[in-house]
Amino acid sequence: MNGVIAAADLAASIGYSAFFAVSVQDAVRNLFTALLLAEAGALFLLGGFFAYGGTIFVSKVRQLVLGTGGEWRPEDALRGEKKAFSYILLASLLFTESLLLSLIL
């Protein structure tokens, strides 16, 4: 998944350089690292939402406001954390990649 995101960002950077007549090196240096950083932030938020969505607080609010859902179980929190782990891991890889590229380029 990380490779797919990086390839899409690289293609966007090359397209940006062709459209705005900017050198490819400048486009990769500026846009590619910024895209990686923005995607890492979005994935961190998404992972946090999944982890927070399984907590007892959210379950009780959903139960009171919407009148849906059953009783909260610890398995619900564990399921949310398992789902969030993959997003947070991918975000960590993208963030590290963005930092390394900004230091190298």
Domain ranges (residues) in the chain: 2-104
**Cβ–Cβ under 8 Å, residues 101 and 33:** yes
Residue 15 is predicted with a pLDDT of 84
Residue 92 is predicted with a pLDDT of 92
Q: What pTM did the predictor assign? A: 0.76
How far, in Å, CA of 85 to CA of 51, rounded? 8
How far, in Å, CA of 40 to CA of 45, rounded? 9
- At residue 74, the 3 state secondary structure works out as helix
Per-residue pLDDT of the chain (105 residues; tens, 9 = 90+): 777 887 888 888 888 888 888 788 887 778 888 888 899 999 999 999 988 888 888 888 888 888 776 777 888 888 888 989 999 999 999 899 888 888 887
Residue 22 is predicted with a pLDDT of 79
